């Protein structure tokens, strides 16, 4: 902190929260869990059930841009410093990243500290991979720290790649994007949208989908950056121009649409991948921004829906961060025994609800207390 003293109120979250958007984030997080569960029974992206769960990431990025713009855009003119913005974002995001990586180490050791092909990995290499992951330093494909051997940037907890890009988005916002005029931001959104649509339709992923960004191989980094740049920027643009419209039942309408969109099977049989790419582009570029707009416009009018939205919003981030290490164990069990869904549905069900419970416990016993301590320690000063 600088020599200027800052009161606790200056950094408190005084603005009202968008209850429906919190709830929709939770709905999308639950769909990610289902997507990853059924990933264990797929032979390729084409026959994956709950096929489009990977698009939840794009929805999260739109939501992130909108909420950050709403929460911070007017604070820069009232004294918010860049370093304090970064402190706030680190406190909000990083404690759960640490816990997720720790779970990743534990489950990797339980699994036998082996790559997918059975190659043993030394404990020292696992610990090095953990150290680098804690600082969000990605693993290069084929390197020693890429301990699972399947190309993941963060092999101890694969979905952490989205937090890597989220941090990039926060850095770009604080240093550059927030300074853009609305017209310049609109140009950025249009250009990024054109790039993202081209990436999807012209099949740069190789499978006709936007499920990229998790690796440093091929066009993954390019695709991941396009996903972030468009979705985050359009969310920020909407927050600048937001004028709510009247809509009843926004949470239930938008929530059901999210479930439907992320459950749709692969479009086509793979012979014309542009079809599925077009679906992904339409969802990301058109539908998700509309859903965020509608969710921000709606109001919760009954206590039960309000409590449900709050619960979903509260667990959404912990759920996303902690679930995948246990998916690795699930996959290893399935594949080593050649098991089908009909043989293991009860385990899949337990995994689904077990991760929800784990996320809630992680939130209450770890994340909230740690964030409270860090906020008092690094953000708040007595006058």
Question: What confidence tens digit (pLDDT) does each residue in 65-117 have?
Answer: 999 999 999 999 999 999 999 999 999 999 999 999 999 999 999 999 999 99
Predicted local confidence at residue 4, as pLDDT: 36
Query: Do 113 and 126 form a contact (C-beta atoms < 8 A)?
Result: yes
Query: Do 137 and 359 form a contact (C-beta atoms < 8 A)?
Result: no
Predicted local confidence at residue 7, as pLDDT: 36
Predicted local confidence at residue 50, as pLDDT: 87
DSSP 8-state class, residue 284:
I
Q: Where are the alpha helices (DSSP H) in 205-340?
A: 220-240, 250-263, 274-282, 288-297, 303-322, 324-337
Predicted local confidence at residue 14, as pLDDT: 53
Predicted local confidence at residue 381, as pLDDT: 60
Query: Do 355 and 322 form a contact (C-beta atoms < 8 A)?
Result: yes
| Averaged pLDDT, groups of 10, the chain, 383 residues long | 36 68 98 97 90 97 98 93 96 98 98 94 97 97 95 97 98 97 98 98 94 95 97 98 93 98 95 97 98 96 95 98 98 96 97 98 98 94 47
Predicted local confidence at residue 380, as pLDDT: 81
Owner of token pair 């990743």: 104
Which string of b and e fits 135-172 if b means at least 16 CB within 10 Å? ebebbebeeebbbbbebbbbbbbbbbbbbbbbbbbbee
Angstrom distance (rounded) from CA 353 to CA 363 = 15
Query: Do 53 and 258 form a contact (C-beta atoms < 8 A)?
Result: no
């Amino acid at each position: 902190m600088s020599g200027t003293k800052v009161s606790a109120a200056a950094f408190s979250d005084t603005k009202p929260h968008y209850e429906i958007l919190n709830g929709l984030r939770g709905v999308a997080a639950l769909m990610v869990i289902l997507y990853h569960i059924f990933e264990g029974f797929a032979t390729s992206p084409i026959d994956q059930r709950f096929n489009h769960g990977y698009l939840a990431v794009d929805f999260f990025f739109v939501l992130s841009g909108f909420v950050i713009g709403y929460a911070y855009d007017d604070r820069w003119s009232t004294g918010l410093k860049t370093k304090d913005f970064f402190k706030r974002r680190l406190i909000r995001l990083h404690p759960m990243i640490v816990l997720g990586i720790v779970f990743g180490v534990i489950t990797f050791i339980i699994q036998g500290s082996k790559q997918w092909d059975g190659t043993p990995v030394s404990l020292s290499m696992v610990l090095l991979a953990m150290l680098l992951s804690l600082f969000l330093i990605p693993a290069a494909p084929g390197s020693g720290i890429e301990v699972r051997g399947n190309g993941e940037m963060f092999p101890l907890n694969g979905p952490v790649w989205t937090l890597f890009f989220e941090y990039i988005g926060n850095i770009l916002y604080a240093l550059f994007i927030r300074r853009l005029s609305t017209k310049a931001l609109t140009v950025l959104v249009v250009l990024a949208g054109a790039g993202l649509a081209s990436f999807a339709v012209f099949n740069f992923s190789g499978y006709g989908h936007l499920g990229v960004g998790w690796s440093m191989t091929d066009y993954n980094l390019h695709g991941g950056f396009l996903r972030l740049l468009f979705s985050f920027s359009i969310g920020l643009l909407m927050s600048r121009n937001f004028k709510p419209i009247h809509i009843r039942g926004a949470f239930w309408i938008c929530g059901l649409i999210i479930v439907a969109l992320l459950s749709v099977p692969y479009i086509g049989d793979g012979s014309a991948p542009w079809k599925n790419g077009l679906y992904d582009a339409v969802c990301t570029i058109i539908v998700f921004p509309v859903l965020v707009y509608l969710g921000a416009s709606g109001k919760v009018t009954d206590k039960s829906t309000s409590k449900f939205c709050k619960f979903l919003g509260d667990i959404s981030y912990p759920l996303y961060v902690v679930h995948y290490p246990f998916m690795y164990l699930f996959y290893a069990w399935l594949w080593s025994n050649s098991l089908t869904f009909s043989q293991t549905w009860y385990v899949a069900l337990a995994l689904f609800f077990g991760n929800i419970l784990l996320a809630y416990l992680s939130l209450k016993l770890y994340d909230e207390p740690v964030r409270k301590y860090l906020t008092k320690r690094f953000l708040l000063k007595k006058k």
